[in-house]
């Protein structure tokens, strides 16, 4: 298989794009794709101040790298979740994120969940859920809260995440299997800002996971290879697996599934395409919430601290 | 595994319903389910005159049988497609449909496509598509045309088909993978009548294929076991296969996928939930069509006859 640009030996063959490229041309091609997504979906405005959520994985580091190469200034935000299973998953991720930032003279903000909130994510999950569930819901809730708070408090106007096409297609697939009307109507490459909420963008929403991984490897980016140890057996991984099997049989299906969804919505399929629930400020932390009184984040972490006090 | 009703040996275990039943109680249970679906979706009106599309397969014969057991009068319509591959698929289906009708003193109408239209379905497909595609599109088009024409001309007010949950879920899945807005908004257990179109109902829309098969076997109904020989490799069978694998991992998923879709639509997810294209009578046959001038059925069969005349 040869590179379509130069005829040299291809480093990646993208069946869904009917396109093979050598390392050099692939490393040019992907940033062009991201630039196109940024423009196509109006992700960035002229005076934006950009924060990238960095997990230490391939997607977020590749995204931060591409922003730098496109001349788009962006600070990073790493949230240390305190997940020490799997040979120090969080410590290792933190180190790699820091090393990446230092080597490129980029600014990385770090929030340590244990230091700031009084418990790590696994501890918080075991105190509130008492082992009945995975920590993923507490983790997602906490990350969303922290990302928005840091972005607001530190004057960022937009938050970018490394969600790739496989992530987005799996979420869409899950929301389709049970026809979650609210989630379906709101899933988008850009979530507009609202009072108290910064805009969120997903520049890799059209980029296959294989492509972000290939980019990170070919650019020599050191990233955490492991999935979060708590992700094993999760519904989202199951949905990814089902889609991977369909993609294997029908190359391009994941992309067409996601893009045809965006198109159908834009053309008016849904009756209330951007409706979001009524939001008001949480009476404890001030962040927007749809819950009455205090938000789910504050309620959850109050419970964590109360239970921790009981057990000590 | 024992019958929940009588404690006897179970003949079927429905994991998705968490229900095991013996033969006797299963043969009572399924007609109750059908009666419930008929009522729930308002499928039948007091003075309806009912026609059942009968293919000779398990679904349509089981449905006709259940109508009789529920005291609902229904005539049958068999369309002989002239598919003689697979040891006489159409002849065998016709014989079994006739034998079923005779043994129960039911009236079966028969339309022979070759005699009436001048070519069998495989011949028509090879003359129009010249081997590029499967005959399934010509076949579907022809069956829909004939079913509606016979129903109208012979004074039936409603046409029932044996489509089961697996069929409906596979169609929904396909329409979801490419977000076909028009099809999504219109797929339903009942397609209301419109000028020139009789109402269509699918009383098995909540019934798994396994359940209609078990019913046919336990009732001693003789039916054609084989799929249509042209179905092999079709997209709809591929989608069924994907859903079967998910159902295997998550029992009940097919039913919840279909029902949550119906619920979301009823609750207003889609902006134009029942919009159908503008219809007007075909200038040749008079049946409703959205195509300008003459309908696709007439256009296709005119072409078949013209090509046949050329080759003779």
CA distance B123 to B138: 10
Q: Tell me whether residue A299 is in a domain.
A: no
**Is pLDDT of B44 > 60?**
yes
Does A238 reach chain B within 8 Å, measured CB to CB? yes
Do the chains contact at B271 and A267, CB–CB below 8 Å?
Answer: no
CB distance A106 to A60 below 8 Å: no
CA distance A125 to A115: 16
Burial A176-186 (b: 16+ CB within 10 A, else e): bbbbbbeebbb
**Is pLDDT of B275 > 70?**
no
Does B267 reach chain A within 8 Å, measured CB to CB? yes
How many angstroms separate the CA of residue B172 from the nearest CA in chain A?
A: 10
Closest Cα to residue A50, out of A255, A219, A208, A198? A198
CA distance A178 to B255: 10
- Residue B131: what pLDDT? 60
CB distance A111 to A78 below 8 Å: yes
How many angstroms separate the CA of residue A188 from the nearest CA in chain B?
A: 15
Residue A226: domain span: 31-279
Within its chain, how far is the Cα of A246 from the centroid? 23
Judged on CB neighbours under 10 Å (0-12, 13-18, 19+), B263 is: middle
pLDDT band at A228 (very low <50, low <70, confident <90, very high): confident
Q: What's the sign of the alpha-carbon dihedral B122, B124, B127, B133? A: negative
Contacts of A256 in chain B (CB under 8 A): 177-178
Full-prediction pTM beyond 0.90? yes
User: For B17-28, what is each residue's pLDDT tens digit?
Assistant: 999 999 999 999
What domain count does chain A have? 1
Q: Tell me whether residue B13 is in a domain.
A: no
- Residue B227: what pLDDT? 84
Does B270 reach chain A within 8 Å, measured CB to CB? yes
- Residue A230: what pLDDT? 87
User: For B110-138, what is each residue's pLDDT tens digit?
Assistant: 999 999 999 999 999 988 876 666 788 89
- Residue A186: what pLDDT? 85
Quote the ipTM score: 0.88
* Residue with token string 């449909």: B97
Q: Tell me whether residue B170 is in a domain.
A: yes
Does A133 reach chain B within 8 Å, measured CB to CB? no
Nearest to A271 among B179, B238, B271 (CB): B271
Do the chains contact at B179 and A260, CB–CB below 8 Å?
Answer: yes
Do the chains contact at B181 and A267, CB–CB below 8 Å?
Answer: yes
Q: In terms of residues, how long is chain A? A: 312
Q: Tell me whether residue B303 is in a domain.
A: no
Does A50 reach chain B within 8 Å, measured CB to CB? no
CB distance B212 to B77 below 8 Å: no
Do the chains contact at A242 and B238, CB–CB below 8 Å?
Answer: no
- Residue A274: what pLDDT? 57
Do the chains contact at A269 and B268, CB–CB below 8 Å?
Answer: no
Tally A–B CB contacts below 8 A.
Answer: 63
pLDDT band at A132 (very low <50, low <70, confident <90, very high): low
Q: Tell me whether residue A290 is in a domain.
A: no
- CATH number at A84 reads 3.40.50.620
User: For B66-108, what is each residue's pLDDT tens digit?
Assistant: 999 999 999 999 999 999 887 789 999 999 999 999 999 999 9
Q: Tell me whether residue A168 is in a domain.
A: yes
Query: If you average pLDDT over every residue of chain A, what do you get?
Result: 93
Mean pLDDT across A202-224: 97
Q: What's the sign of the alpha-carbon dihedral A151, A155, A158, A162? A: negative
Q: Tell me whether residue B8 is in a domain.
A: no
The more confident residue out of B65 and B308 is: B65
CA distance A93 to A77: 12
CA distance B37 to B17: 16
Q: Tell me whether residue A37 is in a domain.
A: yes
User: For B143-199, what is each residue's pLDDT tens digit?
Assistant: 999 999 999 999 999 999 999 999 999 999 999 999 998 888 889 999 999 999 999
Q: Residues of chain A with pLDDT > 90: what percent?
A: 79
CA distance B228 to B83: 8
Contacts of A239 in chain B (CB under 8 A): none
Neighbours of B55 (CB within 10 A): 23
Contacts of B174 in chain A (CB under 8 A): none
**Is pLDDT of A130 > 70?**
no
How many angstroms separate the CA of residue B275 from the nearest CA in chain A?
A: 11
How many angstroms separate the CA of residue A270 from the nearest CA in chain B?
A: 4
CA distance A63 to A44: 14
Do the chains contact at A176 and B181, CB–CB below 8 Å?
Answer: no
Does B179 reach chain A within 8 Å, measured CB to CB? yes
């Amino acid at each position: 298989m040869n590179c379509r640009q130069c005829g040299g030996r291809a480093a990646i063959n993208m069946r869904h794009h009917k396109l093979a490229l050598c390392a050099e041309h692939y490393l040019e091609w992907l940033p062009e794709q991201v630039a196109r997504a940024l423009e196509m979906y109006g992700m960035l405005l002229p005076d934006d101040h950009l924060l990238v959520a960095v997990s230490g994985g391939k997607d977020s580091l590749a995204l931060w790298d591409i922003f730098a190469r496109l001349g788009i200034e962006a600070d990073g935000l790493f949230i240390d979740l305190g997940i020490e299973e799997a040979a120090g998953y969080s410590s290792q991720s933190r180190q790699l994120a820091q090393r990446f930032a230092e080597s490129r003279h980029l600014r990385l903000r770090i929030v340590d969940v244990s230091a700031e909130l009084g418990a790590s994510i696994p501890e918080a999950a075991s105190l509130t859920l008492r082992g009945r569930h995975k920590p993923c819901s507490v983790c997602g809730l906490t990350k969303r809260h922290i990302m928005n708070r840091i972005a607001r408090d530190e004057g960022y106007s937009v938050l970018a995440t490394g969600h790739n096409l496989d992530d987005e297609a799996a979420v869409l697939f899950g929301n389709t299997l049970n026809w979650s009307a609210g989630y379906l109507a709101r899933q988008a490459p850009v979530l507009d800002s609202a009072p108290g909420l910064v805009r969120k963008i997903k520049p890799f929403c059209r980029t296959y996971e294989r492509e972000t991984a290939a980019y990170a490897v070919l650019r020599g980016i050191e990233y955490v290879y492991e999935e979060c140890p708590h992700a094993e057996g999760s519904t989202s991984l199951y949905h990814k697996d089902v889609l991977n099997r369909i993609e294997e049989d029908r190359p391009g299906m994941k992309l067409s599934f996601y893009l045809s969804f965006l198109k159908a919505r834009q053309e008016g399929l849904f009756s209330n395409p951007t409706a979001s629930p009524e939001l008001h400020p949480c009476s404890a932390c001030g962040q927007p919430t749809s819950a009455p009184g205090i938000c789910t984040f504050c309620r959850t972490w109050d419970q964590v601290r109360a239970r921790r006090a009981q057990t000590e």
